[in-house]
Structure 1
Amino acid sequence: MNCIHKITNTCRYFHRYASSISRNIADCTIYSLSSGHGKCGVSVIRVSGPRTKHALQAVVGSSYEPKARYAYLKSLYHPETKEIIDKGLVLWFPGPASFTGEDSCEFQVHGSLAVIAATLDALGKVPGLRPASAGEFTKRAFYGGKLDLTEVEGLADLIHAETEAQRKQAMLQSVGALSRVYDNWRRRLIRCAAHLEAYIDFAEEENIEDDVVIQLNKELRRIISEIRKHLNDQRQGEMLRNGVRTAIIGAPNVGKSSFLNMMCQREVAIVTSIAGTTRDIIESTHNFGGYPVVFADTAGLRKQTQDIVELEGINRAKECLLNADLILLLTDARELCANITTSNGTCDEYQSSYLQQLDLDASMLTGKRIKLIANKTDLLSTTELQKLMQVENVLHISCKQPTAIHMETFLKHFEEMLSELCGQPSAENPRITHTRYRQQLERCIEHLNIFLDEYAPDIFPDIAISAQKLRNALKCIERITGHVSSDDILDVVFKDFCIGK
């Protein structure tokens, strides 16, 4: 069938392109230190490529015939001087059953800087070997079909994970949780494209069922619905990967900098009794309950000030709100308690009026998660404190006297907010972790909607032109997983990998 020929030719073109790149990469054998730099108990040096076995025998001995995936304790020698370098474990991984898909080996040697340098120098003397560039081992695994691009990026995230929740999410992605979702849509779109090509070529010969177009449209609408549901995740995966950007705002002298120092357990910001001490944005990243948080201490907000520097700080604070995932709105507990007592108003009403006092445009906070925090509770009487504790949707704290009970209660609520914002990573419902994925999925929906709007069975426009929209939608999915190669995308993906990975 003509449709099968077209798809097959496309696949052959991709395979030829990928194969040519793979051949260029595989012409040489690479080596590098794969474990961390610096003094340590054991360091791992990795080799991958067609001359790996030759390099192994050059360092260990020409008579050595390694057994796959067995660890041998061997003496390592310099191939030129024949001097012993170290004694360590040697492992042999013949391709394609290796991380890169090529012949690979590992030398596990003592982690002194001298041993590492001598081992790398010895490998550099073996003909056909060269040092690996950043991310080159993983890039070879990608071109060898061992990993798709989402798994590669999951592996990069796993390397850089700093919290438990980040580790879980990255681990799920690195073993294919997202890949399976996108590959399912890709295969279904390929099938839809094949059916449409068949309908274009053979509909007049009545070899194709009459309802093929109706079924095609139904399937595309189902795919659109699934992608939209996937996109409607409140950016949970991206927040977990990059950190929850948390802006600390409020009027001057309500204790924003003191609050930041208390949460970070160190003197991050300068604290004085002078209003307007904080001028610029002060950021600090921390781990709370396994969730990464990027705190941003901002200048005190007020409507009028004659200080040009403070005014610039206020403008920067407002800009910070636009990029914030969570806003912690600090207020003086005495003011909050007095306001609620005299006006009999609700907490939400007070928060709304308080934001107006800070000269904040309501549109800046649309869709933002805001939490009101009453600070300076140490200045309240026992009666006032009891009254404040009965107010819903308010967290209370004293940065000057952070008692264990108050801190435990506050941190519990704070971690619950982070859990709601980031969600729980799961294999059944993997989250979007990169803006690149979101952009390509949105474009995919755009192309599918254009196709459905342009092409209807009762209109019969130029089907061949409309079919291109379907192929464009397929390419959007393939750009996520790397089935459609793009040097720009690959450069971005691999630039953050360390040498030896």
Structure 2
Amino acid sequence: MDTIFALASAQGKAGVAVIRLSGPLAHRAAAELSGGDLPARGMRVREFRAPDGSRLDDGLVLTFQGPASFTGEDVAELQIHGSTAAVNAVLRTLADMDGLRMAEPGEFTRRALENGKLDLAQVEGLADLIDAETEAQRKQAQTILAGELGNLAERWRRDLIRAASLLEAVIDFADEEVPTDVTPEVRQLIAGVMGDLDRESRGVRIAERIRTGFEVAIVGPPNAGKSTLLNALAGREAAITSEYAGTTRDVIEVRMDLAGLPVTLLDTAGLRETRDHVENLGIALARDRADKADLRVFLTEDPDRLGIAFQPGDIHVLPKSDLRGESEFGVSGKTGQGVDQLIDQISRVLSDRTATSGIATRERHRAAMQRASAALTETLKVLESGPDLYDITAEELRTAIRALESLVGRVDVENLLDEIFASFCLGK
């Protein structure tokens, strides 16, 4: 096994930079660089020198002994001054040492997976935590990283193994004095798992939205003040505004944090009949994005005239309330009237939807759970045929168990690993 190293902190100037090493030569390399023996687990303030004795920097050396480390291997971390020159000098010195090489993206975490320190769902949670921009994303990622999905999958797996063992006992000891009617208990175990799988599968879409972000489309006729409203919501000039109808031809996107949720606001082209070919393309794009959005804000006098279906949770506000006087349902991006109330309403609708989110956060998770659920549906069908078909019932149960094992990376996920770890930085 190679010993790998990489900068684990962000690139660029900083007060402190962290360089991580992992592998059988990690402690020895850190000792050579810092000029003295190091404890198997501990920290030392040291001066770092090149092989010719020239001083590179000074800082802190932390050592961790495997398997009690992030990767499960011997690990060393060098905390040095965060100048680009100091970091590059230390990295060059490490690269010249025999048996050391620069880590590939995500290789530290991949070793943690291979050494049983993390399951695949936890790896995904770690990636999500690194990318988290809002409080909801942080909490969701921490839940996955803490192993909650793995714990849930393990509980399901134990129940199904218990059900399979009951069936196997009847098959293997048919001539012995063992209870032959295990169908009620097996059915109960399967039903419990299927109920959990159904609930978690239904919550994946909302959970995935928390991870990737909700889309909120502002729709309305030309000159309704959509771009002005977007700018007011964003707090900056994100979209061009003018008194001429049809100014917005493309979809303008602004990413925001609303009540801890990641939200992308979409300013769409004004919806109207026109002979302008380019504007028609923008209108078609606006309708498509509005249909796919999680929530629509109808900025218009009459939502029915826009040709976009008003769906549960959608918001209707009257445009340009500064020109019509006080209005409970009006909003003006120009003066800010009603903007705070609109933000509160959007946040409330989206927050209510997150109440149905589950622990599973990705389409991969949902697909694995649905495979398990489909196998359990077949299991129940065969189970009703009685003990004569218990061997087939047990095989269907094993299919469901393998689907759950793929959820946490025990089987059938090798083709996913390269894609997952490619999203990690070098030092993670």
How does the TM-score come out when normalised to structure 1? 0.81
| 1:454-474 C-alpha deviation (Å, 9 max, x unpaired) | 33144844x434433222211
Task: Give the C-alpha shift of residue 101 in structure 1.
Answer: 0.6
- Tell me the SS of whatever aligns to 2:247: coil
Task: Give the C-alpha shift of residue 234 in structure 1.
Answer: 7.0
Give the AA of the match of 2:374.
E
Task: Give the C-alpha shift of residue 423 in structure 1.
Answer: 3.6
Residue 372 (structure 1) aligns with = 316
1:272 to 228, 239, 242: 242
Q: For residues 100-179 of structure 1, what are the structure 2 equivalents within 5 Å?
A: 100-179=71-150
Residue 20 (structure 2) aligns with = 46
Pair 1:206-2:176 in alignment: yes
Residue 232 (structure 2) aligns with = 262
Question: Retained in 2: the 8 A contact 1:177–1:430?
Answer: no
Q: Residue 168 and residue 495 in structure 1: after superposition, are their counterparts in 2 closer, same or farther (change >3 A)?
A: same
1:487 to 403, 410, 414: 414
| 1:311-341 C-alpha deviation (Å, 9 max, x unpaired) | 222221222133211111111xxx4xxxxxx
- Tell me the SS of whatever aligns to 1:497: coil
Instruction: State the alpha-carbon separation in 2 of the partners of residues 163 and 189 from structure 1.
Output: 37
Instruction: State the alpha-carbon separation in 2 of the partners of residues 195 and 495 from structure 1.
Output: 43
Two-structure CA RMSD over aligned residues (Å): 2.0
Q: Residue 289 and residue 245 in structure 1: after superposition, are their counterparts in 2 closer, same or farther (change >3 A)?
A: same
Task: Give the C-alpha shift of residue 96 in structure 1.
Answer: 0.8
Task: Give the C-alpha shift of residue 156 in structure 1.
Answer: 0.7
Q: For residues 471-482 of structure 1, what are the structure 2 equivalents within 5 Å?
A: 471-482=398-409
Residue 314 (structure 1) aligns with = 283
Give the AA of the match of 1:71.
M
Q: Residue 40 and residue 212 in structure 1: after superposition, are their counterparts in 2 closer, same or farther (change >3 A)?
A: same
- Tell me the SS of whatever aligns to 1:220: helix
1:422 to 348, 351, 354: 354
Instruction: State the alpha-carbon separation in 2 of the partners of residues 192 and 81 from structure 1.
Output: 66
- Tell me the SS of whatever aligns to 2:203: coil
| 1:252-308 C-alpha deviation (Å, 9 max, x unpaired) | 221111111111111111212222222222212111222110111112223x32122
Instruction: State the alpha-carbon separation in 1 of the partners of residues 16 and 355 from structure 2.
Output: 37
Give the stretch that moved more between structures: 439-448 or 127-136: 439-448
Q: How many correspondences in the alignment?
A: 428
Task: Give the C-alpha shift of residue 46 in structure 1.
Answer: 0.4
Residue 332 (structure 2) aligns with = 398
Instruction: State the alpha-carbon separation in 2 of the partners of residues 433 and 446 from structure 1.
Output: 20
Pair 1:446-2:374 in alignment: yes
Instruction: State the alpha-carbon separation in 2 of the partners of residues 199 and 111 from structure 1.
Output: 66
Give the AA of the match of 1:373.
V
How does the TM-score come out when normalised to structure 2? 0.94
Task: Give the C-alpha shift of residue 449 in structure 1.
Answer: 0.6
Question: Retained in 1: the 8 A contact 2:216–2:293?
Answer: yes
Percent of aligned pairs sharing the same letter: 40
2:45 to 73, 95, 101: 73
Question: Retained in 2: the 8 A contact 1:58–1:126?
Answer: no
| 1:37-69 C-alpha deviation (Å, 9 max, x unpaired) | 0010100000000111221222122x413251x
Q: For residues 336-351 of structure 1, what are the structure 2 equivalents within 5 Å?
A: none
- Tell me the SS of whatever aligns to 2:262: strand
Instruction: State the alpha-carbon separation in 2 of the partners of residues 467 and 314 from structure 1.
Output: 56
- Tell me the SS of whatever aligns to 2:344: helix
Instruction: State the alpha-carbon separation in 1 of the partners of residues 44 and 172 from structure 2.
Output: 61
Q: Residue 135 and residue 234 in structure 1: after superposition, are their counterparts in 2 closer, same or farther (change >3 A)?
A: closer
Give the AA of the match of 1:72.
R
Give the AA of the match of 1:117.
N
- Tell me the SS of whatever aligns to 2:76: strand
Question: Retained in 1: the 8 A contact 2:248–2:269?
Answer: yes
Question: Retained in 2: the 8 A contact 1:235–1:432?
Answer: no
Give the AA of the match of 2:12.
G
Question: Retained in 2: the 8 A contact 1:396–1:410?
Answer: no
Residue 12 (structure 1) aligns with = none
Pair 1:359-2:333 in alignment: no
Residue 97 (structure 1) aligns with = 68
Instruction: State the alpha-carbon separation in 2 of the partners of residues 307 and 260 from structure 1.
Output: 24
| 1:322-378 C-alpha deviation (Å, 9 max, x unpaired) | 3211111111xxx4xxxxxxxxxxxxxxxxxx4442123x4xx66x53111222111
Question: Retained in 2: the 8 A contact 1:154–1:171?
Answer: yes
Question: Retained in 2: the 8 A contact 1:214–1:457?
Answer: no
| 1:385-441 C-alpha deviation (Å, 9 max, x unpaired) | 3xx42xxxxx431111114xx3333333332223213349xxxx8532111111111
Give the AA of the match of 1:153.
E
